[in-house]
Structures are given as structure tokens and as C-alpha cells.
Structure 1
Amino acid sequence: MLPQLFARLSELERFERAALDVGAEFVEVLLEPVEKDPLRRFHDRDDGSDPWHPIVREIVAESGGDEHLRTYEAKLTDLLAHRPATKVVSSVAGEVEATYGSLCAALSDC
């Protein structure tokens, strides 16, 4: 399992090829927020309990801030159009266990 967010088709295909070359199964899952405001969700995520989030926030700011997030979202939408086998799992802010259950259900279909 590689928990990562790829928005570049060539990069995703590279990992897929690596898995298939060693006989592993490759399953692609996109956790998609139900809320249609990913910017707000990103900014609301930092409650001070995760030491990694300030670093992520800094990386995003240095990459262009909200405009970078909007561009990334557009890239993901485009990527999905090229990857029809991608399993899309709905994610509701704050509903970690429900999202995890949906992820497990999606993976059990493999």
C-alpha cells in the first residue's frame, strides 16, 4: 500500500508498472471529499494536534497557496478521466471511521 496523492499520470503509471512487474495487484483509490469546498477542508484540518500539518501548510503556501490547491484539484479531475478503474470513495470531514469503512469495502471488491 502506498498512501500518496499523485496528480501526474506518468508518475502514477510508474508505480503501477512497478507493482505489476513483481506480480502484485495494483488498486487505485481516490478519497473524494463530499464537501465541494476542498480549500476550506484543507484549512479547517489543522486543529494543532498534527505536527505534520504546519509543514504541509508551509509547502502549500510556498507552492502558490490556494491557487496551487485549485490547480491540484483540477489535475485530479483530469487524472480520473484517464483512469476509469479508479475506485472513488466518499470522504466526509470528521467521519474517519466511516471513510475507513468505505475504503475497506472498496478494497474488498478487488
Structure 2
Amino acid sequence: MPRLIHLNGPSGIGKSTVARLYADRHPGVLDLDTDQLLPLIGGWRDDFWATLPVGRRLAVAMAETHLRAGHDVVLPQLATALDEVEGFEAAALAAGAEYREIVLTAPKQHAFDRYSARASVVDSSPHRQIDDILAEHGGLRLLDRIHDHVAGYLALRPACTVLDTEGLDPEQTYAAVETSLSWRFF
């Protein structure tokens, strides 16, 4: 049975890095990074917050298509509200696939340090551009609010797996994700 593996968690926690590692090591898996879809939509930088739901809807359609073909999808996407994941859950169900949500977490200061370190990297990737948009909208203050929203969201999602990534490098986080995916829920 194909799986939609949703890697959730605050910005800068390592979702995209782990998703890329997972896809690289599992042929046929779609690394469906919504941050990579947004730049395909005209005006996304000018109205990021309005474009984000459009990107999610595109990602839902892509996920369902790939799952129906019998392949796994790994989705590195922050979600802090139920309506942000319902489409992905419905796509998995419609495709006869399993939906697995893994939330990557770390104490706030550790997450802030990771995010800040990322800010010093100079590149023109969509992730960098999104970090610039987040900085314009409050930077660490916004990340603090996101952390609180993720904590509140977790109370609504008892079936998701939570992985504390403090002290883990990307390879160790990847290994923890792999281990959690081997667990079966009945």
C-alpha cells in the first residue's frame, strides 16, 4: 500500500532535508515540497499568504495522482490547523494509501538556532526566499508563534508521531523517521 508521509514541524526544523534524503534513497518516491511549487505561481512573493493555499491544493492533486500510481509521497509541509491537512488525508484515502504524519520538533531555542543558522546561508532557492518572507513578517517572533501553534495542533492529532530532533543531525533525524515508519498502528 502506498503511503503519504507528511513531515510536519516548524520552519527550519529539517523537514525538507529529511524529505530529500528519503526520496533519494527510495526510488519512485515523490518529494512533494510545497515550497518548491509556490515559485511556479505568478505573484507568489507579492502575496505569499494568499498563494500558500493554492500551492497546497496543487500539492494535494499531485499527491493523489502519484499515490494512485502506487508510489509513496513524502510531504515536507508545516501544518498548524486541521484544514491544512484534510486535503492530504482525503487524497491518501481516495488513492487507497496510508497517511502517516511525523512531526519534527525541538525546544524553541534549538529551533531558533537552526533557523538563524540557515539565515546566514546565501542562495536563491525557494526556501531562502520563503525565509526572507518570514523575516519580513517577524522572523523569530513569527517562528515563536509557529512553535506555539504546532504545540496546539499536536493536541488535536494524537495519531501522529512526534520526533524530538534536538541534538540530531540530518542523517540521525532521517534514521529516526525511517524507524518510526516501520512502526505499525492497528
Deviations 1:46-99 (A, max 9, x none): 452654353132111122222211111111001100000110112135611111
Q: CA deviation at 1:12?
A: 1.0
Moved more, 74-83 or 11-20: 11-20
Matched, 1:12 2:85: yes
Q: Is the 8 A contact 2:103 2:163 kept in 1?
A: yes
Q: Is the 8 A contact 2:108 2:147 kept in 1?
A: no
- Aligned Cα RMSD in Å? 2.0
Moved more, 38-47 or 19-28: 38-47
What is the percentage of aligned positions where both structures have the same residue?
36
Q: Whose relative contact order is higher, 1 or 2, with alpha carbons under 8 Å and at least 6 apart?
A: 1
**CA distance 1:36–1:58, shift in 2 (3 Å):** closer
Unaligned runs of 5+ in 2: 1-73
- Which residue in the other structure is 1:26 paired with? 99
Q: CA deviation at 1:39?
A: 1.8
Deviations 1:18-71 (A, max 9, x none): 1112211000001112x4412222102345265435313211112222221111
In 1, Cα distance between equivalents of 2:143 and 2:136:
12
Moved more, 51-60 or 23-32: 51-60
**CA distance 1:46–1:65, shift in 2 (3 Å):** closer
**CA distance 1:45–1:66, shift in 2 (3 Å):** same
- Which residue in the other structure is 2:134 paired with? 60
Of residues 80, 85, 95, the one that matches 2:169 is 95
Q: TM-score, normalised by structure 2?
A: 0.53
| Structure 1 residue runs of 4 or more that deviate by more than 2 Å after TM superposition | 45-54
Kindly tell me the number of residue pairs found equivalent between the two proteins: 109
Q: Is the 8 A contact 1:41 1:93 kept in 2?
A: no
In 1, Cα distance between equivalents of 2:94 and 2:116:
39
Q: Secondary structure at the match of 2:87?
A: helix
In 2, Cα distance between equivalents of 1:32 and 1:18:
25
Q: TM-score, normalised by structure 1?
A: 0.84
